[in-house]
Structure 1
Amino acid sequence: MKTILDEGVPRKIAGLLRNAGCTVDPFPNDWKGQTNGRLLRLVGSVEYSCLLTCDKNLAHQQNLVAAGSAVVVLLTHDLAALKEIIDLVAAAIGQAQIGTVGLVPSSRT
């Protein structure tokens, strides 16, 4: 599933996820400042189908099916912690389906 990072996700995670076999791009500069609803519609209207975010509320405030998007939520934005669980993040992206929300824990414990 082609994934795009949300604005608050560390950009360096894109390279780590590519190394783990994911198709992922950093947040586009021209998308900055979009509302959550508009952002999800943008994700679903272009070549992306999944948004990787740290915003725990985003998916519950929007209709993901109507937006044509899946959301994977990271429970941390700490790059060091994310490096430790990059395989879990990649697995969550791999299992994501349009209209669903996946949660990735902040650690293995």
Structure 2
Amino acid sequence: MRTVVDEGVPRQLVQALRDHGIDANRFPRHWAALGNGALLKTIEEAGFSVLVTNDKNMAHQQSLQGRSIAVVALPYNKRRLILERVEAIADTITHARPGEHVVICLDGRRLIHSVINGMPVSRELPAVAPFKAR
């Protein structure tokens, strides 16, 4: 799955995801000025399947119904905590499907939100270790 890592996520995650077999790419700087709707369209047109972001509100702001990408939202943007959970993030990316918004919660729950036949549907992936500061 060709993945782009949003500008608000620690850039070190790109290489860490590559080390876990994910085709991860840095967020192009010229995309920074795009609003969420235009950004999602641009990401699709560039051939990406997944956007990794720390914007947990994107699912409420933009419908992914009918889109060819998935959005994976991280609970933090703190480098150490994100890099400690790279295996769980990589696993989440591999389970994300087009049109899904997957939120990794602080407590380790992974919630998937999508729309099927016009109806909102939620389900969960098995939980991962919590994202807690030490």
For this structure pair, what is the TM-score category when the shorter chain's length is used for normalisation?
over 0.9
Contact 1:45 1:68 in 2 (8 A): no
Equivalent in the alignment of 2:58: 58
* Structure having greater relative contact order (Cα 8 Å, sep ≥ 6): 1
Equivalent in the alignment of 1:23: 23
Structure 1: which 4+ aligned runs deviate by more than 6 Å? none
Equivalent in the alignment of 1:8: 8
**Secondary structure of the structure 2 residue equivalent to 1:63:** coil
Equivalent in the alignment of 1:33: 33
Kindly indicate whether residue 42 of structure 2 is the aligned counterpart of residue 42 of structure 1: yes
Q: Which amino acid letter does the alignment assign opposite residue 65 of structure 2? A: V
Contact 1:51 1:72 in 2 (8 A): yes
Equivalent in the alignment of 2:79: 79
Give the superposition deviation at 1:84.
1.2
Q: Give me the identity figure in percent.
A: 35
Question: Within 2, Cα distance between the matches of 1:86 and 1:105?
Answer: 14
Give TM-score, length-normalised by structure 2: 0.76
Question: Within 2, Cα distance between the matches of 1:77 and 1:16?
Answer: 15
Give the superposition deviation at 1:74.
0.3
Give the superposition deviation at 1:66.
3.7
Corresponding pairs, count: 109
Give the superposition deviation at 1:60.
2.1
In our comparison, the structure showing a higher alpha carbon Rg is: 2
Kindly indicate whether residue 93 of structure 2 is the aligned counterpart of residue 93 of structure 1: yes
Give the superposition deviation at 1:103.
1.8
Give the superposition deviation at 1:7.
1.5
Give the superposition deviation at 1:67.
3.7
* Structure 2: runs of 5 or more not aligned: 109-128
Give the superposition deviation at 1:88.
0.5
* TM-align CA RMSD: 1.3
Question: Within 1, Cα distance between the matches of 2:67 and 2:30?
Answer: 19
Question: Within 2, Cα distance between the matches of 1:46 and 1:32?
Answer: 15
* Between structures 1 and 2, the one with greater helix share: 1
